[in-house]
Structure 1
């Protein structure tokens, strides 16, 4: 099998590439940086520039499936200019893949795209399954909706499409967890807001295995990529403190302080989504990290 990956050098992409190579899968990947191109026996890089509409179409040769992870990080201050980049990096790149698949001879049968649980409305009472059609009114909710709509057009080409709505990814190599652990290491860990908002999390190894499972089982449709047992934000921070053997007694950080420090992106820390993993479980997928403590220990290598 040969897979084309976008975002292959990012946090999730790097881990996914490692897994797929171990499974004997050949990988082509698209990158905007010439110095990131490698050509090895089963790992080959190709240039693209979605902003300029440029792509090396030979990247599609012999490819059975596309895994689309590319998109500007949301963990950077949301100026109006950067918000546009967050949106366009997802929509323009997806539209470009649609156009190249539409206009180029290829053998692609499957398209798997990243998405986010941020599409679900902020709620302390709802449990969100993939059937829920409500969309959060926040910037992130609207971005995710437009992103998924762009991905859906690929179905028109007779290609099977899957969307992976991802929760808080626990990895020691990047993302939110190392940032959350920093103040904890100094005994300054504290919950955000009232600390009662739901955090639907997933260990990065389980996340990339979900991608592999969807790929090999040829699943289609929307799948929540979250562990089965979401926790409160306070429980998450306390678990990090327990794993690092640090005290946890600081008062919660009020929402207005977070807003002053982070601007609009402070909603990432305060929004609550209790997201169900039932659909992926019912398909036969088995999680390796069901316990938050085990997941945090593994991610932080404690």
Structure 2
């Protein structure tokens, strides 16, 4: 039984992926900073302690694990991007992995593979209608720079001869968390309307498909960067309209203007006022991965309608 070690294993993706991997017969372990009782971890998950600020890490975790899934990262949408918050967003993604890389180097240890999260923010805040593949160059903006340094940290651990995978993740659809609940709230209040122009693209993926990608990347020879999105990006207007249709709520044509989003969210307005139309051809053509959720409306119905 091989062991998968998580960073950030108590988040939305980590908790669901843990269930998936346990069901496939893997042992799952997690690096944690606090009490297990506060983490919502599955009782079968092993825990090891670490403290990034102090540079502390239980090296037994590295000795006993075959794979690393790197999901650690402070949320980007819940607080304003003050200088302190920017530093936390970056270091929680980069510093965490660099600490592991340093310890592996000192001990002469290695994983069979490292599967790391990244973001389609790599391509920039708003790239319009251009269809983006993994070959598209780095974009501009704070989150693009975060993604660049994040992926460079993955490449450094890859320099130890470890197979590495970077999943540039889009908008994750899940009833438990992620971006979808924020879109749902105004629709449920009967005031759902497009954000900004409404023409910006939302490249989405169902949580279960994302978790299956991680599992597939562990078990098969994926390597490098992949756009972890579904096959059919939609505009923000299409997304909000479809949510309203599924919930049988009104859809309002007047858009929420960009200036109002900026007043409310500051720089974070780029998260909803901008967008990327991202192509998943590398996953489809090179890995043989089969999606469970390819169309937006059935995916939303599966999440939002009690059956």
* TM-score normalized by the length of structure 1: 0.96
Matched, 1:244 2:247: yes
Structure 1 spans left out of the alignment, 5+ residues: none
CA distance in 2, matches of 1:114, 1:58: 23
Could you tell me which residue of structure 2 aligns to residue 293 of structure 1? 297
Deviation readout 1:175-202 (Å, 9 max, x if unpaired):
1101110110111001111100111000
Per the TM alignment, residue 212 of structure 1 is displaced from its structure 2 partner at its CA by: 0.4
Matched, 1:53 2:59: no
Deviation readout 1:23-71 (Å, 9 max, x if unpaired):
0001111011133579988520111111210111111233111110000
1:61 counterpart SS class: helix
Structure 2 spans left out of the alignment, 5+ residues: none
Query: Does the Cα contact within 8 Å between 1:34 and 1:47 map onto a contact in 2?
Result: no
Query: Does the Cα contact within 8 Å between 1:62 and 1:106 map onto a contact in 2?
Result: no
CA-atom RMSD in angstroms: 1.6
Could you tell me which residue of structure 1 aligns to residue 46 of structure 2? 44
Could you tell me which residue of structure 1 aligns to residue 11 of structure 2? 10
2:20 counterpart SS class: helix
1:45 counterpart SS class: strand
Query: Does the Cα contact within 8 Å between 1:38 and 1:45 map onto a contact in 2?
Result: no
Query: Does the Cα contact within 8 Å between 1:25 and 1:42 map onto a contact in 2?
Result: no
* TM-score normalized by the length of structure 2: 0.94
1:110–1:168 CA distance, 2 compared to 1 (3 A): same
1:52 counterpart SS class: coil
1:188–1:40 CA distance, 2 compared to 1 (3 A): closer
Per the TM alignment, residue 106 of structure 1 is displaced from its structure 2 partner at its CA by: 3.3
Aligned residues: 301
Matched, 1:131 2:163: no
